[in-house]
Amino acid sequence: MKRLIISLLVVFAMVFSIVGCGSKKDEDTPKDDESKEEKAEEKAEESDSDEEIYIPVVALGYGHQFWQAVRAGSEEAAEKYGVTITFEGPEEETMVDKQVDMVKTALAKKPVAICVAAIDIEALRPILDEAKADGVHVVGFDSGVGDLADATATTDSYAAGVLAAENANRLLDGKGKIGIVGHSQTVVDAVARVDGFVETVEKDYPDLEIVDIQYGDGDHLKSADVAKGMMQANSDIELIYTSNEGACVGTYNGLKEAGLLDKVKLIGFDSSAAMKEAIRNGEIEGAITQDPVSMGYLAVEIAYKLYKGEPVEEMIDTGCYYYDASNMDDPEIAPLLYD
């Protein structure tokens, strides 16, 4: 009997030991799982903080100082928001295929957003439509990308054309004949700069007459030839409005070669060392300037905010101003003029 009691005690001790071990294991398991979850969350947070936020910026062109000013603004925003950007554009603002290739290459690197100033919106439409379907935000700047953009930072180019028309009317005392040398019939902002000018003249200034509109692709030599041909066909033109720097400098050169600088007033667009010098000495009456640094900055800022899910305005006007010899050194104008 004594042996039986001892045996039972041993069995009971073994059972309680097993149960106790099982209970300890059950208590430890949730703690281990919780620890693993915390580590996973910490790792995810570290991954998020280390993640490269890539936003390519593809401009209409590259070499002109205007685009370098846009680049400076975009790099400033990239530094502020801790994002990685690339900035590129074709050598000439007519190289549609090259820009398309640049956009394709940038998108292949899986950016969170892309900023584009399109030469030809329709050429980029299928590519950007696909990118948007994959969750890439599309931001337009300068010429923009039309209805493809989630948001756009640009000069109101139509308003810039209106401002140029108002100054043309002032310079001609409300009466005279005008020619226009444009730089593109496909780039959205280029078209708007001409439309704003033409429609304002037709609507508001009945004694001004636009007798000819031609295009020189923003090329100095082509625009010079266009201007000389325009004046040969219409010798009574008193003022020429040009829609970008290339058109302005080219037209200036053409008028100078033809000996007409003292007979034809010239209004330009944008700026350069040659334009500023000619405006200072009175050979060019004045020009419209944009704010390219703000344009580049805002494009990248908008792209970053879209990525973060923050609200942004669909259209942000970066402003335009008329400058001439009387105000080009003013504090609010001088920083917007580039060489």
Per the DSSP assignment, residues forming a β-bridge with 263 are: none
Sign of CA dihedral 157, 286, 73, 122: positive
Q: What is the pLDDT of residue 50?
A: 58
CB atoms within 10 A of CB 72: 15
Q: What's the pTM value of the predicted model, to 2 decimals?
A: 0.72
Sorted by where each starts, the structural domains of the chain and their CATH numbers stand as 54-155+292-319 (3.40.50.2300), 157-289 (3.40.50.2300)
φ, ψ for residue 69 (rounded to 5)?
-70, -40
CB 288 within 8 A of CB 66: no
Token code pair at residue 205: 């200034």
**Model pLDDT, residue 333:** 95
List the chain pLDDT tens, one digit each, 339 residues.
434 344 444 434 443 443 444 443 344 444 444 443 343 344 334 334 457 999 999 999 998 888 999 999 999 999 999 999 999 999 998 999 999 999 999 999 999 999 999 999 999 999 999 999 999 999 999 999 999 999 999 999 999 999 999 999 999 999 999 999 999 998 888 999 999 999 999 999 999 999 999 999 999 999 999 999 999 999 999 999 999 999 999 999 999 999 999 999 999 999 999 999 999 999 999 999 999 999 999 999 999 999 999 999 999 999 999 999 999 999 999 989 988
Q: What is the rounded CA–CA span in Å between residue 241 and residue 275?
A: 14
Q: Where are the beta strands (DSSP E) in the chain?
A: 54-58, 84-88, 113-116, 137-141, 151-154, 176-182, 208-215, 239-242, 265-269, 286-289, 315-317, 321-323
What is the pairing mode between strands 286-289 and 321-323?
Answer: antiparallel
Distance, in Å, from the CA atom of 219 to the CA atom of 184, rounded to the nearest integer, reads 10
